[in-house]
Amino acid sequence: MASKVIQAYYNDDDVLMHAVKEVKAAKHHIEEVYCPFPVHGLDKAMGLAPTRIAITSFMYGCLGLTVAIVMMNYIMISDWPQDIGGKPSFSYIENMPAFVPIMFELTVFFAAHLMVITFYLRSRLWPFKKAENPDVRTTDDHFVMEIGVHGNEKELEELLLNTGAVEVNISDK
């Protein structure tokens, strides 16, 4: 990560997408793009790797299903078997149709709650964390692209202005 960054401000997401493609074509590394709303295709244009968060969601769902099966087997079969309405209580397999809603609910519960925790940890969103956006306009109507400066300030500034940037600033990171 560079100690100095150049920040290019854009006021349209289509212009930003075009600028990202031009900057990547010129072989510059984009450190970060701040947007007021998600821009479809920006991750692909920046060359970011696809996310593996769906795999963790599946694993959390499997964990919830396993916990549900073990819990119901222990509670309803081993620990406290009950004769409810003449249904057999000595076999988990015979009682499985009655347990399906519980298995579904715990699968969804584990996947949803653990995914929220994973997202916050992965994004480094701690309680009382200070916002990292470089300008408050990025939460309203402007897009900011940050590129590390390695002695090529004038060339980079010229490139960014040609891509449609409304403002270009150089700052220390």
The pLDDT value recorded for residue 89 is: 67
**Per-residue pLDDT averaged across 55-66, rounded?**
97
Residue 149 has pLDDT above 90, yes or no: no
Percentage of the chain exceeding pLDDT 90: 53
Residue 86 has pLDDT above 90, yes or no: no
Evaluate whether 39 touches 16 at the Cβ level (below 8 Å): yes
Alpha-carbon span 63 to 155, nearest angstrom: 53
Beta bridge partner(s), residue 170: 6
Structure tokens at 38: 């998600």
Q: Is the pTM of this model over 0.75?
A: no
For the structural domain made of 4-49+130-172, what CATH number should be given?
A: 3.30.70
The model's pLDDT over 105-148, given as tens digits with 9 standing for 90+, comes to 999 999 999 999 999 998 888 888 888 888 888 888 999 999 98
The pLDDT value recorded for residue 34 is: 93
The pLDDT value recorded for residue 173 is: 72
